[in-house]
Chain A
């Protein structure tokens, strides 16, 4: 076992990120240990998908460092990044299946590109992974013929085809009905039982509490808490509790006051003219 094997699978330190002038991630520090399921939670626009994209090396941070399986994602040369990417699996929110390939072609793609296995062996491995995600017999279908839940499961099968050490899942149950979403949670738990490290980005509370070993809560680009499920539930942080209890903090709706303000503004405009 190398030194990297013993360390954290993902290590993010003092990460800052901007979209133009706007800061979207602020001093993010995160550590994912081998074999655990880390759920990154937060509302829409909290920065969780942006954080994932930075960890995967799809975007460059303004400041800070990111290491995945010991590789410095920000500064590593292309060859080191390629080697690291063979050891990770990623399932995107939309599935991101290549529309020109069949289900089987999509799942086999990493094997075809990175190994010298013969086609029959690749087919066997592809069928095993499709069976793992309960989609046996679908290898000849095209992505356009699949439902939303099936697309997510094929994406998961593709993500695990190379037997990766860590799997990243972006909103695995978003847009799915509760039954199918629960099925995906079961798949994630089944995957965890194989010893794979999982980093799951989601805004689904029920799903997060079901699958997580630890939860990181993001809000407005900042980490509010990163701890065990029990500690997150017991957190006294108001913003964490607001997220957990789905408390909505909207200003009070007062139609009369709005009408009065509108009339006053209109009168001002008439006076000016």
Chain B
């Protein structure tokens, strides 16, 4: 029992230390972004662009497939549930709100955490082990400015865009099923969507994805720079980055929904 309490205390302290480290890194990244040029060390646009390509553009195919499937799945379940009350015709409203406010940002966030968060942790972990971070430091190149800030900016830029793309594809996937199942025309479906979705609904999902972007990047960075050991350490960091990233997204999503809808 005592050992359990000791381990719990140690883990809690370590968790708080990581949270503090992540907050410091976030603040430092933002400082470099806004004031790096005044220190003669600007955040390079080319670095942001290459990270944006990797995290955003290269993720488009898988976001397309998953969003299409999720949209269709929500429509199938929606029509089934509403048919119990004879209210199938209201399915467009349900699909529109659930896809834009919840499913698109959540699925995109989980996907990017699995894809780019883990890649970031692995890359930084490998760079730590290979002394590349030390090399940058002794060259007078701040690693946060050179590595973390571009990744953060790229993620903050690309995740909302991916979420917007997922909104469109998810609603398209749902529309394919709804129009077939309910014998509705595509024009009628689009008109119902336009009536159902407000700008606030879209911004609710896209705004959340900005927070997810920060979470995914910071979790990836913290796990990457904390790597000890060799390949085993990188494997552990990568797994941890995915698990912690997805957990953080889901918990923050729940808190966000609670706070906004109260």
Q: Can you list, as one digit per residue, whether each of B15-57 has a CB less than 8 Å from chain A (1) or not (0)?
A: 0000000000000000000000001110000000000000000
Given the complex of chains A and B, what is the CA–CA distance between A56 and B131 in angstroms?
13
Give the Cβ gap from B147 to chain A, nearest Cβ, in Å. Answer: 10
Given the complex of chains A and B, what is the CA–CA distance between A79 and B142 in angstroms?
11
Given the complex of chains A and B, what is the CA–CA distance between A86 and B136 in angstroms?
11
A96-B130, A113-B41 known; A90+B135 contact, CB < 8 A = yes
Contact between chains at B41 and A96 (CB < 8 Å): no
A99-B126, A99-B130 known; A92+B137 contact, CB < 8 A = no
- Is B183 at the interface (CB under 8 A from chain A)? no
- Is B190 at the interface (CB under 8 A from chain A)? no
Interface residues of A in 108-123 (CB under 8 A from B): 109-110, 113-114
Q: Which of A96, A109, A113 contacts B131 (CB 8 A)?
A: A96
Q: Which of A86, A93, A99 contacts B132 (CB 8 A)?
A: A99
- Is A88 at the interface (CB under 8 A from chain B)? yes
Given the complex of chains A and B, what is the CA–CA distance between A88 and B40 in angstroms?
18
Contact between chains at A109 and B141 (CB < 8 Å): yes
- Is A98 at the interface (CB under 8 A from chain B)? yes
Contact between chains at B130 and A85 (CB < 8 Å): no
- Is A23 at the interface (CB under 8 A from chain B)? no
A92-B131, A98-B132 known; A110+B139 contact, CB < 8 A = yes
Contact between chains at A90 and B130 (CB < 8 Å): no
Given the complex of chains A and B, what is the CA–CA distance between A113 and B142 in angstroms?
10
Q: Can you list, as one digit per residue, whether each of B175-198 has a CB less than 8 Å from chain A (1) or not (0)?
A: 000000000000000000000000
Interface residues of B in 111-170 (CB under 8 A from A): 126-127, 130-132, 134-142, 146
Given the complex of chains A and B, what is the CA–CA distance between A252 and B106 in angstroms?
66
- Is A241 at the interface (CB under 8 A from chain B)? no
Contact between chains at B130 and A94 (CB < 8 Å): yes
Contact between chains at A94 and B131 (CB < 8 Å): yes
Q: Can you list, as one digit per residue, whether each of A158-185 has a CB less than 8 Å from chain B (1) or not (0)?
A: 1000000000000000000000000000
Contact between chains at B138 and A90 (CB < 8 Å): yes
Give the Cβ gap from A174 to chain B, nearest Cβ, in Å. Answer: 13
**A86 neighbours in B (Cβ, 8 Å):** 140
Candidate in A56, A79, A83, A113 with the most chain B CB atoms within 10 angstroms: A113
Contact between chains at A114 and B140 (CB < 8 Å): yes
* 29 pairs of residues in contact across A and B, judged by CB atoms under 8 Å: A57-B138, A58-B134, A58-B138, A79-B39, A82-B41, A82-B140, A85-B137, A86-B140, A90-B138, A92-B134, A92-B135, A94-B130, A94-B131, A96-B130, A96-B131, A96-B132, A96-B134, A97-B132, A98-B132, A98-B136, A99-B127, A99-B130, A99-B132, A109-B139, A113-B139, A113-B146, A114-B40, A114-B140, A158-B139
A93-B131, A110-B140, A113-B139 are known; give 12 further A-B pairs, CB within 8 A.
A56-B138, A58-B134, A58-B137, A58-B138, A82-B142, A85-B137, A94-B131, A96-B135, A99-B126, A99-B127, A99-B130, A113-B140
- Point out residues on B near A: beta carbons under 8 Å: 39-41, 126-127, 130-132, 134-142, 146
